[in-house]
Each structure stands twice: as C-alpha cells, then as structure tokens.
Amino acid sequence: MDQRIMWWWRRIPTIALASCMFAIGCGDGADEDTAAGGSKGAGAGSTTGPSTGPGPSGSGDAATSGAGASGGGDTGKTVTLTMTEFTVPSGGEVFKCQNFANPFGGDAEVTKFESHMTAGSHHLLLFYKDGVGDAPLEECSGLEFAATPYGSQVPDDSVSYPDGVAALVKATTGFRLQTHYLNTTPAELTAKVTVTFHLAEPGTVTAHAGVLFVVEPNIFVAPGQTQVVKHDCSLPFDMNLIKATSHMHKHATHFTSSIAGAKVFETAQWADPVPAVFEPPRSVSGGAPVHFECTFTNTGTIPLTFGESATNNEMCIFIASFYPVPSDDSVTVGCD
C-alpha cells in the first residue's frame, strides 16, 4: 500500500482535515489541462455541452438548469456534474475518478447536494480539489481522500441544509469525484454517476456546513472469527448534526454509534445503509465522547484488514454532515 495513503487514513481520526491539506487526491491525478468539453455555469435554462473527450460519453459534463429546489434562500438554479459512463464486468470491482473545474464562475454556496448512481455502486465521494481543470475519467485508488462536502452509499441520495446554511465552494476550488462499483450480477453493467448542486440566493447564508469523517483503521479479523472493532474519541467543537451514516464492507454485520451516550446511527446493512436524517438538526457539544463500533465475521481463509476492496478488506467509518464549521478552511474534520 502507498505509504502516503496509509499515513493519511491513519491521521483522519485525530486531526481536522483542512481543504486539500496533505490530500492524496490533490494534484496527483490525471493531466488537469485536459478539457472535458462540458459547459458550466449557474445560469437559468439548460446548457449541457457536447462530450468531446475519450470514452463512450466523453470525459464528463457539467450542466446547468433552472429546475426548482427546496429550502429557503434557494435560487432555483442547479449545476450537475456527470461522470463519463464506464462498464464493470460481471464479478468486477472498480474504482473510478474524474476531475472537474469549478463550474460556478466564482464563489458559490450550495444548499443541497443530490446524487444518482446506477445499480452496483458501493459509494461516491466528492472531494474539493484546488486549481483543477476538467479531465478524463481515470482509474484510481479507493484509499484516496481529501476534504469533502458530500458522499453517498445509496443509488439515489441527497443532503439538504436548513435555512441559512450552505456548503461553501470557493472560486479557486474544483472537484474530484470518486466512485466505487462492485458488480455481483451475471452481466456487465454500465455505470452512470451524477452529482447536482442546488445553489443558495446570495446574501441568505449565515453558516457554512461541513463533514465529520472518523476512521478506525486498526482492523484484523482472523479466518473463522467474529470481532467487534471499536473507536472512541471526542468531538472537536459544538455542532449541529444534519445526517449520519456508516461505511463498511461485506463482512460487516452491525454498526452502532453514539455521542455523549445517546445513539446517533445504527444499521445491520453494509451495502446501501439508509442514513439517519435529523429534523430538526441534533445539537451536540464540543468535547462530548464519540463511540462507534463495527462487527465483522470472517468466513474466508485469510485475515481481514483495513483496505479498499469491499470483497477482501474491511472499513469501519462514522460520517456525519453538520454545521457550522469553525472556519472555511476546516470543512472536513475528525475527532480527538
């Protein structure tokens, strides 16, 4: 395993991840000057550009429309990033990434993220990536990580922020979209992945949102054994939780999490776990103890350790969307 990647993942539970600070996903991907050919912007109407890059649908598109969106202060304007379509063979497991230049033409505040993935997806992560240009689809590592405003593990998903809350995207910041597919069907599948941004009306946002992302990398489960892997830490500051979920692989049978002794999220699903949504947002105090644990049963012949493969490795991760961030340079944080 790339030692930079392992160092990054081991540091997530104990540091606040500043945007692209130490990021494996910042600056070591495909040629950032390769044009993707899609048109961008936040104007009303529909302006999808032609796909001119390599691959069955080019190298990805950004589209804008005047479709309405819920939430106070919403302009009704949306921007959609579309990954180049790719195929996954029967029994195959792939990791694909694609870079996109900032599609807004300046600073933007996002009141809602919405994503859609065809069947067979395990996850997507949307990373902030400073100074990036549009680029073709590429193979990548499932252990890449950088500051992120949004991710999902279900085919159709979204996160909407309360009135006055939005995720900030700076004018100099683009995106890197990472997706993980596992095809357990007898036929080849064609993967289609989109992320849509619903934009806030200028001057209506008073707080910016972030993501709490906490990893327990110390996993070792011997063949034929069942083991509970636990993680304990403390929240770095006061926050209001909007949404919470877990991330695990196929040997996982149970996940539970709590803050200050009160349950936050629990599931028995390793694939497509349905997130917990808090309406109204759930307030938690800085310094409060965070606890989460994953139960794994190893039915294979080799030990289970932390890694990218949903088939051969495991992960135990607690994720929550929250507001407000302490600063716009600390949009993804861990806990101590």
Give DSSP secondary structure letters for 175-192: EEEEEEEE--SSS-EEE-
Residue at a domain's end among 187, 206, 225: 206
Comparing 52 with 308, the larger pLDDT belongs to 308
Residue 283 is assigned to a structural domain of this protein: yes
Comparing 252 with 336, the larger pLDDT belongs to 252
pLDDT of the residue at 102: 96
Query: In this structure, what are the phi and psi dihedrals at residue 189, rounded to the nearest 5 degrees?
Result: -120, 155
Mean pLDDT over residues 127-151, rounded? 95
pLDDT of the residue at 321: 97
pLDDT of the residue at 328: 86
Same domain, 137 and 243: no
Mean pLDDT over residues 110-126, rounded? 94
Mean pLDDT over residues 138-153, rounded? 94
pTM of the model: 0.80
Query: In this structure, what are the phi and psi dihedrals at residue 14, rounded to the nearest 5 degrees?
Result: -115, 0
Residues in the chain: 336
Residue 52 is assigned to a structural domain of this protein: no
Same domain, 21 and 169: yes
Comparing 254 with 25, the larger pLDDT belongs to 254
Residue 221 is assigned to a structural domain of this protein: yes
Residue 224 is assigned to a structural domain of this protein: yes
State percent of the chain over pLDDT 90.
74
The three-state secondary structure class of 66 is coil
Comparing 128 with 34, the larger pLDDT belongs to 128
Is the pLDDT at 24 greater than 90? The verdict is no
Comparing 329 with 1, the larger pLDDT belongs to 329
pLDDT of the residue at 217: 96
Same domain, 192 and 215: no
Same domain, 126 and 11: yes
Comparing 8 with 139, the larger pLDDT belongs to 139
Same domain, 139 and 238: no
Number of structural domains (the chain) is: 2
pLDDT of the residue at 177: 98
Cα 183–chain centre separation: 20
Cis (ω within 30 of 0) for the bond into 280? yes
pLDDT of the residue at 13: 36
Which residue bears the tokens 């202060």?
73
* Cα–Cα dist 160/232, whole Å: 28
Mean pLDDT over residues 5-23, rounded? 34
pLDDT of the residue at 143: 93
Lowest mean pLDDT among 1-10, 176-185, 213-222: 1-10
Is the pLDDT at 43 greater than 90? The verdict is no
Contact 49, 71 (CB under 8 A): no
The three-state secondary structure class of 72 is coil
Q: Which of 32, 13, 17 is nearest to 133 (CA)?
A: 32
Same domain, 226 and 167: no
Mean pLDDT over residues 259-266, rounded? 98
Name the band, by pLDDT with cuts 50, 70 and 90, for residue 16: very low
Mean pLDDT over residues 123-128, rounded? 95
pLDDT of the residue at 62: 53
Lowest mean pLDDT among 39-53, 59-73, 128-142, 310-324: 39-53
Give whole-number Cα distances, 30 to 55, 59, 80, 118, 174, in Å: 15, 12, 21, 24, 14
Same domain, 175 and 224: no
pLDDT of the residue at 336: 85
Same domain, 148 and 245: no
pLDDT of the residue at 85: 97
Residue numbers of the domain that contains 258: 210-333
Mean pLDDT of the chain: 82
Residue at a domain's end among 156, 191, 206: 206
Task: Quickly list H helices, the chain.
Answer: 3-11
